[in-house]
Amino acid sequence: MMDCKPKVLVTSRIPEEGMCMLDEHCDVKVFDYEGVFPRDLLLKEVKGVNAIVCLLADKIDGEVMDAAGPQLKIIANYAVGFDNIDVEAATKRGIMVTNTPGVLTDTTADLAWALILATARRVVEGDKFLRQGKFKGWKPMLLLGTDVHHATLGIIGFGSIGRAVARRAMGFDMKVIYYSAHRASEEVEKKLNAEYRSLDDLLREADFVSIHVPLTKETRHMIGERELKMMKKEAYLINTARGPIVDEKALAKALKEGWIRGAGLDVFEREPEVDPELLELENVVLLPHLGSASYATRAKMATMAAENVIKALKGEVPPNLVNPDVVKIK
């Protein structure tokens, strides 16, 4: 290693497993802001760094890259998604972009199921009801919910997380239908007991709709007023993917007017802001983006991000490179 360690900016402290790796090889500057890293501060602090470890909330575009300077080698996203990074701009500048895929699949699928159960069985409402001293004894009609077992689960996006959600559905004897841009093989469908549907047919048929697609131009507002009106009045919408996939205003209206029975959200359209109308509704469970929030998963994400940075700064190709064309440019 060079006597002068390469400089790394970490926009928010990550678990110690990753920080220790970075500290050993690099000169690390860490910020631990409450909320989103201020744009003006980001543009100032990136100057002269060789690597950036960032979060989904950090918008890393050409302006940030140019503010850093030509010595910037890698932008390591502490997430599986990377829609917060202008990958094309990075590639043009010869900057590697990496993510932390695979490790959070099961943990995110678990949370999707937590939301399915919490919404269907009114868990949050029940907790609030009891804490407010309203529970005076068992009643036949108290907080009646919806059965999950033997219901129909519609999965939008059948990648690794979508399939993990489908596997868990087998334990509830659910019928699983899915929509995906690329249909799964007959072998996968048979293994997961899953049937392919068009998006419209899935929305009409499913009792629970769980979203697991990436955020792209095509998937932005994929679920809007038209789609919500297609769903059953008794149905629930679950989103642990990306907030802008769902038109939040339309969802608030759907919940308020009874187009669907309920929703469970871990992500939001203008995160960390949440539509004020949603905050007022009892038939939606809202979580602060906890999809990958387990000790083991976040620690593994940290070591993956650190390894990506260290490899790149050594002149090697990092294991989770999302813009392989940058290697050809170099």
List Cα–Cα distances, 160 to 102, 248, 309, in angstroms: 8, 25, 25
CB-count exposure of residue 44 (10 Å: 0-12, 13-18, 19+): exposed
Tokens 């760094």, residue located: 49
* Whether the Cβ atoms of residue 73 and residue 32 lie closer than 8 Å to each other: no
In whole angstroms, what is the distance from residue 317 CA to residue 108 CA?
28
Side chain identity at residue 180, one-letter code: S
Identify the bridge partners of residue 177 per DSSP, sorted by sequence position: 154, 195
In whole angstroms, what is the distance from residue 313 CA to residue 7 CA?
10
In whole angstroms, what is the distance from residue 6 CA to residue 255 CA?
51
In whole angstroms, what is the distance from residue 107 CA to residue 111 CA?
6
Edge-to-edge strands, sheet with 27-30: 27-30, 7-10, 51-54, 74-77, 96-98
242, 261, 269, 307: the catalytic one is 242
Residue 35 zone, left/alpha/beta (φ > 0; ψ -120 to 50; rest):
left
DSSP character at residue 183: P
The Cα angle at residue 123 between residues 119 and 125, in degrees rounded to 5:
95
Identify the bridge partners of residue 178 per DSSP, sorted by sequence position: 155, 196
289 a catalytic residue: yes
Classify each residue of 118-137 as buried b or exposed e, where b means 16 or more C-beta atoms within 10 Å of its C-beta: bbbbbbbbeeeeeeeeeeee
261, 289, 298, 307: the catalytic one is 289
Positions annotated as catalytic residues are 242, 271, 289
